[in-house]
Chains A and B, each alone.
Chain A
Amino acid sequence: MIPVLSVNKLSKSYVQHHGLFSKKAITAFAPVSFELEQGKTLAIVGESGSGKSSLAKALTGVITPSSGSICIDGVNMADKDHKQRCCQIRMIFQDPTTSLNPRSQIGRILKSPLLLNTELSEQEMDIRVSDALRQVGLLTEHAQFYPRMLSSGQKQRVALARALILKPKIIVADEVLATLDVSVRSQIINLILDVQREQNISFIMVAHNLGIVRHISDEIIVMHEGHIVEFGPTADVLDNPQHTITQRLLMNQQVQFRK
């Protein structure tokens, strides 16, 4: 089976200037390579500062990678602009309260990717918007609302609808569950799993709760200081961790659960 996403030697480093002449290169993540099949979920875990968020941002094009290629269906996306990229790969941000424009109606927020990337007429767009809203468990009427009128769980649903509305192949979710409380978190997880089953979308989840990761992901990448230290099927990696970092992460969270 051909992987829908294949990442080859992708890396990102920043140059930091100290004074006039001295420079220091800071590596966000070293060259990483991995593949993802259609309809599968890949989890990226690691400590904070391990480069997992930067990797997610580089995949969606928020930051431009220093080197390497991102191929979706065999087409290299690294040199494409946002317009060509966003129909294939979409991003959901960590905090739903800051990722929706407080001055725009939900309908307008959802319509803007359609307006920019499709040739649909006004009515067709309205239909797509209300379909997307219903798909994530909201009502058509929510299109008239402003973000301040919604709860944070509903906002995250809107963010998911925004990602889904262009019917992408891959959705990158950057710690989407971190800011939600437990009951809303499980609703969103179930919603993501439903959507994945219906549309056969691949997910890349940046997460730190290993319990959730075990529940939803097929494969897992463990990152440490910009390097992939462990990569494989989730069950194998979590049941039989090889690297000390993975062992430490597991131990840390087990201690949390035991309390």
Chain B
Amino acid sequence: MANHNVFREDHIRSPLAHSWFLYQQNTIGMVALWALIFILILTVIGPWIAPYPMDHKDVSALLKAPSWVEHGEVHFFLGTDDLGRDLLSQIIYGAQLTFGGAFLTVFLALVIGSVIGIIGGMSSGMQASVLHHFLDTLLSIPSLLLAIIIISVLGPGYFNTLLAVFLALLPLFTRAVYRAVHDELNKEYIIALRLDGATPLRILRYGILPNIVETFVSQTTRALTSAILDITALGFLGLGAQRPLPEWGTMLSDTMELVFLAPWTVTLPGLAILITILIINIVGEGLRQAILKGMD
């Protein structure tokens, strides 16, 4: 067939579009991205597609094995636990509590922390110092320990867990964004923009924000991982969500004594945590590398 593209015009991609193009070449990354989208959809529409209601207990089907094992039944696809609750439904509801909760917390921390970091980074002197070191003391305590302290004051519960995780993440975002903005401000193209008479808002919009996307992406994925780990760890320790809430960490601790009798009740929530964290990390690292490569 004749080639109509005589002049072979190359389409000029913007750096971000180029980064996305580079990411699409990364097969593992794309698989992980689709898996992440699947988890997100599951989190949103979980209650409508779960086969059983959250508090449904079937006393005639206690400790049923998953359906592919000899005594399993197909209407309890992943089996049941010691109270006859369907594990598949429990894990689907748990996605909302563990992944959805972490997602919302990270999103809030990202927005508020970034705003504080950006205002701090753009200002100078006392104001910058106050905003930069805002909540700095929280950084000296490991996030899980901090969460335990907060919960020991407020009492255990799912909402308090989210609050604790939010407070632990906030200074991380503030710090990272402050540093990124501050480093950017000293670059020559920002000085050039300032010499053009640009307002700080314009400098932020066209000069700084497009150049610190990498910080946002890497910081968000890291925060998402640590939020999921903290929420599940607190649930596992009995300080976070309490049964009957099917939070993945709570499910793990609830069925620990059944590990020899019914190993699937422990393994499956554990696998859910593992896979989710793995997926987030693969996507985050892939995006970060694609953005860095897209720069040059």
Contact = CB atoms under 8 A, between A and B. Distances in A.
Interface residues of A, number: 32
A27 B202 CA distance: 33
A98 B296 CA distance: 12
Interface in B206-222: 206-207, 210-211
B15 A116 contact: no
Nearest to A112: B196
Given A98-B187, A101-B207, A102-B211, A90 B195 contact: yes
A112 B199 CA distance: 11
Interface string B196-207: 111000100011
Contacts of B194: 62, 82
B60 interface: no
Instruction: Give the residue among B16, B187, B198, B296 with the most A Cβ atoms within 10 A.
Output: B198
Interface stretch (A38-46, A142-150, A192-200, A234-242): A142-150
Given A91-B192, A101-B193, A148 B296 contact: yes
Nearest to B296: A148
Contacts of A61: 195
A117 interface: yes
Nearest to B10: A149
Contacts of A144: 12
B70 interface: no
A214 B20 CA distance: 50
Interface in A67-94: 81-83, 85-86, 90-91, 93-94
B198 A116 contact: yes
A104 B203 CA distance: 12
A103 interface: yes
Given A98-B188, A99-B188, A101-B189, A60 B195 contact: yes
Contacts of B12: 144-146, 149
A126 interface: no
The 4 A-B residue pairs whose C-beta atoms are closest, nearest first, are A83-B197, A103-B210, A99-B188, A113-B196
A99 B197 contact: no
Decide if the interface of chain B is mainly helix, strand, loop or mixed.
helix
Contact of A102 (B15, B193, B197, B202): B15
Contacts of A86: 195-197
A62 B198 CA distance: 13
B184 to A, nearest CB: 10
Given A98-B187, A117-B196, A148-B296, 8 more contacts: A62-B191, A82-B196, A86-B196, A93-B188, A101-B189, A145-B12, A148-B15, A162-B192
B197 A116 contact: yes
Nearest to A101: B189
Given A60-B195, A112-B193, A146 B15 contact: yes
Contacts of B192: 91, 93, 99, 162
A102 B198 CA distance: 18
Nearest to B187: A98
Nearest to B197: A83
B28 interface: no
Nearest to A117: B197
Contacts of A104: 206, 210
Interface in B153-197: 187-189, 191-197
A100 B196 CA distance: 13
B196 A98 contact: no
Interface in B252-296: 295-296
Contacts of A81: 197
